Structure 1
Amino acid sequence: MFSESVISGRMDFAFFLGAGCSISSGILPASTLCLRWIRELKRNETGNSLDFEEWYEKAKSNPGFSRKNAGAFYAKVIQERFPNPALRRMAVQDLVAQRDPAFGYYVLSALMANEALGSRFNVVFTTNFDDLVADATFLFQHVKSLVIPHEDLASHAAASARRPLVVKVHGDANLSPLNTREETNALSLNMADAMRRKLDDRGLIFMGYSGFDRSVTRALRHLPASSLPNGVYWVNKHLPEDEEFRTWLAERRATWVQHTDFDEAMTLLHASFRLDEPNARRFKVIQENLEDESERLRRKMGRKVRGTTEDRAGVEKRLKSEMKVFQKAAGNADDVKRLIEEKLSTYRGNADLLGVCAQYMRRHDLRQFAEQLYGMALEVDPDHPSVLCAFAAFHLDEASQSERQPEVYEKVERLLRRACNSNPSNAQCLGIMASFQSNHLLNNAKADSFYERALQADPINAETLGSYANFLWRVKGAFAEALEYYERSMDINPTRFRTLANFSQMLFLTKDRRRAHQYASSVVASSENPVLRLEALFYLFAHHPRNFQGDWVAMLRALIDQGVRSPRWDFSPTLRCAAELQHPHILLLEALSNVIAHSAPADVLAQFELWNTPHGALVDPPGVEPETSRLTRLLYPVELRAQGGLQQVATSTSSVDPGPLGLDSSADTESAKPAK
């Protein structure tokens, strides 16, 4: 009921946490501390700690003291045990040192950092001296809380949608914590004002709190009647023993939730709000990054000492020479494999050549041999940026297997992180990491940061410019700016198929149909990458005049039947546009999108008549000129050919160039070839 009312009513709340919340994190409650300190007092005064409870009640004149209510004597006992502020501060520091947040704090951090709910629960008031709330938000959510550790900073207490607020009403263990009755007699004006401001439009949830603190009670009693509009919740097995605080709860018509265990109560919230489960990935990434960097830096320093830096000019010359050997194999997988095996003994010390060989094997789907070659290349040079990026792309091929996707993504990110760290000015590595963060991990903030670094490293890198253009319109909706970046990328390399495919999708959406058709058609006619051809055909089918749709479907079906897919590619902008234009086969488009991008079975397409209708093969009789072939007429209608649309069509696709050792938004590894 509570979660439903919060979600439906858009209600905001603040938490008020007491010492009971930190017990499972290893911090002793006030009652236990008091008993420990009284035992120590008696031992110091009498030489033993026997019957210390009775001794404290009678000999020390504390009528009514008992084991049950020991926590109520906290302020008096700590002053007696540690008579000056410095001793009290050191005692508190020892109590909270080296404590890790338990599950209840994990749930609280997940709630405070949740994209949909965080802004409604991102304020915490606490009488605790520990840092468990702030530690939990950073450790588990990678979010820095704004902590107000001292009353002099209370005027700066301001939460935001992205930054939780933690207000320590009695100070911090390291900054004059308030313990004694005199110190906690009343909250400062600054702290009371912060409480008033933050509770003006929220409800308040008490957890793990005893209610013995008079200063807090007085501050709450002075809140305006209009404050706390979303109510007060007292989460505890018992009502507070302090009569003044109990009266205030009654006046505020507080809801009593009879639950005493903080972790158990937070577990219920975890389930009702469907929050994420704990994940060790962040800690694993930190550990792996430290290990990788430690090894890389040692290798780098070792190379400097030995002075064994490679002659890059010599490597490039040999690479170009050896490439001619593979081109003679004309793309035959067995021939290429045989050539590589013959020359392997001469390649073993050259990471560049081994990386190129691995790319060939990946292209021909000889994955076991490719993985072996990537491993050999990285044994020669563990920090080779291009090989690391290529190996990441190799593993990304496996990401479509949903059950292995998290494991694959971790492996890919680690390889790309090594590539970026080994050469932080390598625009290709930085751009690839940016694309991976956005398209696969959906971390657009991190992607934006890597794009900035990539463009700073090389502002005229065509791949980075094109990839950033795609990011701009898809993620930020900045179509005009994206157009400029696409144009710059095309000026530098007008025949890169990934850029042509992405640019065509955006141009169709912005109604520049001539160029959109031209670029998509170039991809269909010339690209050796079936994934890019599939995407471009989807755009053409979604936007093309109705009388050609059967031909697009014929080519789409051929690729689908071959098992070609583009996992997680976003066709939603194209689908929305097609729906607005009342596409006659919008249901087929939606089903096709699910098959291509979301692993839906291809059988679902059989229900559509157009998908099952046979269409003539796009093959002409011998002797037909390219300019008048059926494929050309389909890809370039007369009105487009009259405007020069045929210029970008490539008629030669025989090259076996493996492309750059990298990956892009859908593992594109080729560029368009110029038309004959």
Structure 2
Amino acid sequence: MTHIEVQEWTLEGVLDELARIDNSMHDRHFAFILGSGASFSSNIPTGKDLAQRWLTDLHLRECKSGATVEEWTKTCDIVSGGLTFESAAEFYPQIFERRFRGDRESGYAELEKHMDGKSPSLGYTLLAEIIQETRHKVVVTTNFDNLVADALSMHAHQSPLVVAHESLVGFVRPQLRRPLVAKIHRDLYFNPINDQVGVSNLEEGWKHALKKLFQYFTPIVVGYGGNDGSLMGLLNALELGDIAGRMIWCYRDGSPPPILAHEVLIKHEGIKVQIPGFDEFMLQLAAKLVPDFDLGRISERTEDLGKKSAERYRKQADQLMKSLAQGTQEQLNTRKVMAQSVQSRRSWWAWELEAAAQLDPVEAEKIYMQGLSQFPDSPELHYNFAIFLSRIKKDPDAAKLMYQKVLELAPEDSDAIYNYAQLIFEHDKDFDKALALVERAMALAPEDPDAFGLYAEILSEKKDFSRAGDVYRKAVRKFPDNAEILLSYANFLSDSLEEYERADKFYKKALEIEPDSLTCILHYSKFLAFQYDKPDQAELLFQRAFKVDPNDSALKEAYAGFLKMQE
């Protein structure tokens, strides 16, 4: 069979064909078969590299004749014949067994050393983009690394189903709700299959699962040498017609498909194509398959995700610090530990945590000032200091100056603009200036419900009820599950428009979303007690509020007024 020539296409022809199939055959999917060559640009050695390193180790241990490693390899008896230093990849499992004979765990440790801490290359990023944005969501790999899953995670794409052991093959099926990564030689941490018997034989469960899969998925082979008998044995055993469409085998110059791969391609009428590399191929394929493909947009989105993750981390730490302000001695000790953990003062955030750890506002202000002297261009530290001046020190004029400094340093910081607008609204009662600021915040962060709520609240305070109602209705449609928006709209309907039946409806909706929110319970109970004249319902809600926080001063004051009204 090997004398028959395998069809070879140009890369442009292959990309054009894949794009045509993607556009016109919506029941056809692509499955990417990846080998160690795909991970090379992620600084993970290929199977050939590892095999040659291990031959070098064995030569150092065993050669006593002074022969070179190339000469010694030909006579080392690792296999019966045919092994050369250049062909090491073909005998990877036998070399692994000899190199780590008697201490297989050290072999796994060697693999971990080469794979731990490696980041997905551009090719994996683009593969993740294809998986996320198209219907082509299957990867079958002989690799032990986690680069596919890592790439999907890094770019906030849907997490894949990773089947890293033959005991889980029951989860591999053609109809998938999420991406699939089938690791047929197991995962790096699940006793990876590296021995000759395991690499040469595919477990029966995998044979059945992959046969069903390839009936619906066209295999695109990238970076796979085809030197193991397991996957190649399965592909060779499949009948003509068991694979959907033409199998495509990508290879690099100097690394043509092996004889067994040629036999598989001829049997299934597949094609081979020379590519410049994994990253380059994935770039060109993504440009063909991904709608509105934009490499710059991927970069910007990834950068934005990193910033948001860091910001979320800092906010959670800040919130934890603030929640420990008035607590037990154990909580105060935790607060000190958090502050001490960043005493190096190498970042603006270290100063922020140290300031937040202070129970004395005077000491906190001193720390903020010291931090700003070291980081005078930090909009984040200026922003946090502005909040401190406004909410803790109760110095709105100083806070306004600090917000102005923030906006000089970061004019598109929507959070700073929002908080500055709120201060202008509540302290200065300058409705027009506050509205203009909120409009800027909404333009920069159109998905921020707080900005919508503040905008409507300012309009309501300005007695522009018609515009306020329009904004509230838009906000309720845009954020139907936001209890704060629903509660604010309910307050507007009851206090400004006196539309009590509609207000009651939105108070209930807010409470359904956040049933344990003291704010929601208290506002609704006051509405029932003082406006809607439902004293029995109000009493039940007041008691519910006391179960949430029996010491809340606003609750006590409202309930006392309710009881007095009932006398």
CA–CA distance in structure 1, aligned partners of residues 43 and 322 of structure 2: 42
Measured after TM superposition, the shift of residue 23 of structure 1 is: 0.4
CA–CA distance in structure 1, aligned partners of residues 436 and 233 of structure 2: 65
Measured after TM superposition, the shift of residue 247 of structure 1 is: 1.2
Q: What code does the residue aligned with 1:64 have?
A: G
The answer on whether the counterparts of 1:212 and 1:240 sit within 8 Å (CA) in structure 2 is no
Measured after TM superposition, the shift of residue 131 of structure 1 is: 0.4
Match among 49, 67, 71 for residue 85 of structure 2 = 67
Q: CA separation of 1:394/1:87 partners in 2, compared to 1, >3 Å: closer, same or farther?
A: farther
CA–CA distance in structure 2, aligned partners of residues 42 and 393 of structure 1: 77
Between the aligned residues of both structures, percent identity stands at: 23
Measured after TM superposition, the shift of residue 138 of structure 1 is: 0.5
Match among 20, 38, 42 for residue 37 of structure 2 = 20
Give the aligned partner of residue 293 of structure 1: 316
Q: Per the alignment, in what secondary structure is the counterpart of residue 100 of structure 1?
A: coil
Measured after TM superposition, the shift of residue 121 of structure 1 is: 1.3
Match among 172, 178, 185 for residue 187 of structure 2 = 172
Give the aligned partner of residue 304 of structure 2: 281
CA–CA distance in structure 1, aligned partners of residues 175 and 29 of structure 2: 13
CA–CA distance in structure 2, aligned partners of residues 82 and 394 of structure 1: 70
Give the aligned partner of residue 513 of structure 1: none
CA RMSD of aligned residues (A): 4.5
CA–CA distance in structure 1, aligned partners of residues 129 and 188 of structure 2: 25
CA–CA distance in structure 1, aligned partners of residues 120 and 77 of structure 2: 37
CA–CA distance in structure 2, aligned partners of residues 307 and 155 of structure 1: 56
Give the aligned partner of residue 404 of structure 2: 372
- CA deviation digits over 1:131-182, x for unaligned, max 9? 0001110112343111001111111124776621000011111111111221
1:90 and 2:90 aligned? no
Give the aligned partner of residue 21 of structure 2: 5
Q: CA separation of 1:299/1:57 partners in 2, compared to 1, >3 Å: closer, same or farther?
A: same
Give the aligned partner of residue 493 of structure 2: 494
Q: CA separation of 1:463/1:294 partners in 2, compared to 1, >3 Å: closer, same or farther?
A: farther
Matches within 5 A, 1:587-606: none
- CA deviation digits over 1:423-455, x for unaligned, max 9? xxxxxxxx538999xxxxxxxxxxxxxxxxxxx
Give the aligned partner of residue 330 of structure 1: none
1:398 and 2:421 aligned? no
Matches within 5 A, 1:296-307: 296-302=319-325, 304=327, 305=332
Measured after TM superposition, the shift of residue 4 of structure 1 is: 3.9
Q: Per the alignment, in what secondary structure is the counterpart of residue 197 of structure 2?
A: coil
Task: Give the paired residue count.
Answer: 387
Q: Per the alignment, in what secondary structure is the counterpart of residue 55 of structure 2?
A: helix
Give the aligned partner of residue 531 of structure 2: none
The answer on whether the counterparts of 1:149 and 1:175 sit within 8 Å (CA) in structure 2 is yes
Q: CA separation of 1:434/1:240 partners in 2, compared to 1, >3 Å: closer, same or farther?
A: farther
| Higher deviation after alignment, 489-498 or 257-266 | 489-498
Q: CA separation of 1:256/1:241 partners in 2, compared to 1, >3 Å: closer, same or farther?
A: closer
TM-score normalised per structure 2: 0.58
Q: Per the alignment, in what secondary structure is the counterpart of residue 166 of structure 1?
A: strand
- CA deviation digits over 1:549-584, x for unaligned, max 9? xxxxxxxxxxxxxxxxxxxxxxxxxxxxxxxxxxxx
Q: What code does the residue aligned with 2:85 have?
A: R
Q: CA separation of 1:49/1:277 partners in 2, compared to 1, >3 Å: closer, same or farther?
A: farther
Measured after TM superposition, the shift of residue 124 of structure 1 is: 0.3
CA–CA distance in structure 2, aligned partners of residues 51 and 86 of structure 1: 29
User: Tell me, which stretches of 5 or more residues in structure 1 are unaligned?
Assistant: 311-346, 360-367, 376-382, 417-430, 437-461, 477-481, 504-676
Measured after TM superposition, the shift of residue 463 of structure 1 is: 12
1:211 and 2:230 aligned? no
Give the aligned partner of residue 428 of structure 2: none
The answer on whether the counterparts of 1:122 and 1:159 sit within 8 Å (CA) in structure 2 is no
- CA deviation digits over 1:317-371, x for unaligned, max 9? xxxxxxxxxxxxxxxxxxxxxxxxxxxxxx966569666x899xxxxxxxx8693
CA–CA distance in structure 2, aligned partners of residues 92 and 291 of structure 1: 35
Match among 126, 131, 154 for residue 107 of structure 1 = 126
Q: CA separation of 1:348/1:90 partners in 2, compared to 1, >3 Å: closer, same or farther?
A: closer
Give the aligned partner of residue 144 of structure 1: 159
Matches within 5 A, 1:574-593: none
Give the aligned partner of residue 477 of structure 2: 470
Measured after TM superposition, the shift of residue 253 of structure 1 is: 1.6
Measured after TM superposition, the shift of residue 83 of structure 1 is: 1.5
CA–CA distance in structure 1, aligned partners of residues 389 and 188 of structure 2: 59
Give the aligned partner of residue 233 of structure 1: 248
Match among 213, 230, 236 for residue 198 of structure 1 = 213
CA–CA distance in structure 2, aligned partners of residues 14 and 396 of structure 1: 48
- CA deviation digits over 1:97-148, x for unaligned, max 9? 111101000000111111xx1xx21100000000000111011234311100
Q: Per the alignment, in what secondary structure is the counterpart of residue 141 of structure 1?
A: coil
Q: What code does the residue aligned with 1:185 have?
A: S
Measured after TM superposition, the shift of residue 237 of structure 1 is: 3.2
1:44 and 2:51 aligned? no
| Higher deviation after alignment, 136-145 or 219-228 | 219-228
Q: CA separation of 1:49/1:74 partners in 2, compared to 1, >3 Å: closer, same or farther?
A: farther
The answer on whether the counterparts of 1:17 and 1:127 sit within 8 Å (CA) in structure 2 is yes
Give the aligned partner of residue 597 of structure 1: none
Q: CA separation of 1:160/1:465 partners in 2, compared to 1, >3 Å: closer, same or farther?
A: farther
CA–CA distance in structure 2, aligned partners of residues 68 and 433 of structure 1: 65
TM-score normalised per structure 1: 0.49
CA–CA distance in structure 2, aligned partners of residues 242 and 137 of structure 1: 31
Measured after TM superposition, the shift of residue 65 of structure 1 is: 2.7
Q: Per the alignment, in what secondary structure is the counterpart of residue 285 of structure 1?
A: helix
Matches within 5 A, 1:605-624: none
Q: Per the alignment, in what secondary structure is the counterpart of residue 118 of structure 2?
A: coil
1:80 and 2:98 aligned? yes
Q: CA separation of 1:212/1:142 partners in 2, compared to 1, >3 Å: closer, same or farther?
A: same
1:56 and 2:73 aligned? yes
